[in-house]
């Protein structure tokens, strides 16, 4: 609390001293010179800031373009991979369907040889008959 008091007291004292110095013509010239230097300094800082901002803006635009191109390339590659996977799945499905159809058209070995009553089936278990 004590530090806050001295801080506020210093600010108030500075305003009082500046007001008294500004009343004197020589003090007024000194304050005008200080003000001119501060204005020049802030103008230079502002110009440097705007120049740096323009540089960064150009870099950011370049990075955005590169990121957009990379995203489009990744999207195209992903689409190619998905299309290739779909083709592979469809080819595998057609091969499986063809193998199942040819297996259904051939008689099974157990059906032709073990149909006689009382003889064991191909796996060795006896057949049950009515």
Span 45-86, pLDDT tens digits? 999 999 999 999 989 999 999 999 999 999 999 999 999 998
Q: How many CB atoms lie within 10 A of CB 35?
A: 10
Span 19-50, pLDDT tens digits? 888 888 898 899 899 999 999 999 999 999 99
- Residue 44's alpha-carbon distances to 35, 51, 57, 90, in angstroms, are 14, 11, 20, 69
Rounded Cα distance between 121 and 105, Å, is: 21
Structure tokens at 3: 């530090």
Mean pLDDT of 79-99: 86
Rounded Cα distance between 17 and 54, Å, is: 42
Rounded Cα distance between 76 and 13, Å, is: 70
DSSP 116: S
Rounded Cα distance between 72 and 85, Å, is: 20
- The gap from C-alpha 100 to its chain's centroid, in whole angstroms, comes to 46
Record the pTM: 0.42
């Amino acid at each position: 609390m004590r530090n806050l008091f001295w801080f506020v007291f210093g600010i108030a004292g500075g305003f009082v001293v500046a007001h008294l110095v500004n009343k004197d013509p020589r003090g007024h010239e000194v304050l005008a010179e200080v003000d001119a230097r501060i204005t020049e300094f802030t103008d230079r800082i502002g110009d440097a800031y705007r120049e740096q901002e323009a540089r960064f803006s150009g870099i950011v635009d370049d990075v955005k373009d590169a990121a957009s191109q990379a995203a489009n390339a990744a999207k195209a590659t992903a689409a190619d991979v998905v299309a290739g996977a779909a083709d592979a799945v469809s080819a595998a499905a057609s091969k499986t369907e063809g193998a199942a159809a040819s297996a259904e058209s051939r008689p099974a070995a157990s059906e032709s040889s073990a149909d006689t009553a009382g003889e064991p089936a191909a796996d060795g278990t006896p057949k049950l008959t009515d």
